[in-house]
């Protein structure tokens, strides 16, 4: 058979409509991918903010616990008055601040210094001496909503070490005892970011501080 050279061959390729449909599908895929990337970046940023807040809270809690554990360090070992609930640690009824004394060096001539922590306007402050308060938490990155100190003490009777009886029958006002103290520290804070959606949920930190220097309260009858 002789080929018919007069009939034009039909072209092979995409029509304009097919190209436009392909472009629309491609753009939709790109937009979807960018949206997923944005969501992932937002989640990653929020996780980083939460991790930083948790780390900062834990660091502050550990710092307070280490400092509080030194209460009474280097101070003379004289017995405190029996009417005093704690000779070196002061906790107000609201429990959102604490103050305590300890000396940098031990010895008969040691001078006690006053230290403390409190929550004020969303910032944890630390006291260096009487009235010298400085910010401990960063007000630009977190807003502290709770600072709580929960005391827990245990009394160890020292009556057996007295040469005379120490009870109501002997006329003694109070028997001496050793005061073993532990303070639970609770923190809660909210991250501060430029976008409220990135702030995340409030984070908490909790730690127990064991006061290493047990106090002796009261004294044996003379």
The pLDDT value recorded for residue 13 is 65
- Name the pLDDT band for 210 (thresholds 50, 70, 90): very high
The pLDDT value recorded for residue 207 is 94
Give me the mean pLDDT over the 14-37 stretch. 80
Task: Answer whether residue 117 is part of any domain.
Answer: yes
pLDDT greater at residue 170 or residue 38:
38
pLDDT greater at residue 131 or residue 183:
183
Expressed as residue numbers, the domain containing 146 is 47-77+88-150+185-208
Phi/psi of residue 209, nearest 5 degrees: -110, 120
Q: pTM for the full model?
A: 0.71
The pLDDT value recorded for residue 8 is 55
Tally of structural domains, the chain: 1
Phi-psi group of 95: left, alpha or beta (phi > 0 → left; psi -120 to 50 → alpha; rest → beta): left
Task: Answer whether residue 53 is part of any domain.
Answer: yes
Is 115's pLDDT higher than 80? yes
């Amino acid at each position: 058979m002789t080929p018919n050279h007069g009939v034009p061959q039909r072209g092979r390729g995409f029509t304009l409509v097919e190209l436009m449909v392909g472009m629309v599908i491609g753009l939709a895929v790109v937009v979807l991918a960018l949206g997923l990337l944005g969501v992932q970046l937002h989640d990653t940023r929020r996780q980083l903010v939460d991790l930083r807040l948790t780390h900062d809270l834990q660091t502050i809690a550990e710092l307070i616990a280490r400092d509080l554990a030194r209460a009474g360090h280097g101070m003379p070992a004289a017995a405190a008055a029996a009417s005093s609930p704690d000779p070196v640690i002061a906790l107000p009824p609201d429990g959102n601040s604490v103050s305590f004394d300890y000396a940098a060096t031990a010895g008969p001539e040691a001078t006690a210094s006053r230290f403390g922590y409190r929550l004020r306007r969303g910032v944890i402050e630390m006291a260096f001496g009487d009235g010298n308060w400085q910010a401990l938490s960063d007000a630009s990155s977190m807003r502290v909503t709770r600072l709580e100190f929960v005391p827990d003490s245990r009394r160890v009777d020292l009556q057996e070490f007295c040469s005379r009886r120490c009870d109501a029958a002997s006329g003694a006002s109070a028997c001496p005892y050793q005061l073993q103290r532990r303070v639970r520290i609770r923190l809660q804070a909210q991250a501060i970011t430029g976008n409220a959606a990135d702030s995340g949920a409030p984070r908490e930190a909790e730690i127990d501080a064991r006061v290493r220097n047990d106090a002796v309260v009261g004294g044996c009858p003379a």
